[in-house]
Amino acid sequence: LMIFGGFFIRSLNIPVYFIWISYISWFKYAFDAICAAQFKGVMLECSINTTSICLPGVKSIDGSAAIGYLGLNDYGLLINSISLIILMVSFRLLALLCLSIKTHLNEK
């Protein structure tokens, strides 16, 4: 789940048949929230030894451009926190359902 969360592979580079894994990865929503909080409203200076985020000749870029380059959503902290809570509740309900089915099958 961490691979598809945006740490190691940009969301834009994930193959189409694996994109669904990124939507159930809690790392994705946590990483999106951290990057949105860190880069929103910040101007990043581009050095002479420029990275692939900076275009040649550009002295600085907006933090939102860096978020876009990483392929992350710029939803902000609130939406990502709500998504994490929904994932947590969904996984708990799925575990409860699995345990209930297992208990019901063992009683027979």
Top-confidence range, 45-54, 62-71, 91-100: 91-100
- The yes-or-no verdict on residue 48 having pLDDT over 90 is no
C-beta contacts of 11-17 below 8 A and 24+ residues apart: 11/70, 11/71, 11/72, 12/71, 13/71
State the pTM of this model.
0.75
Give pLDDT, residue 51.
Answer: 60
The number of domains in the chain is: 1
Range of the structural domain that residue 81 is part of: 2-107
Give pLDDT, residue 84.
Answer: 94
106 vs 74 pLDDT, higher one: 106
11 vs 99 pLDDT, higher one: 99
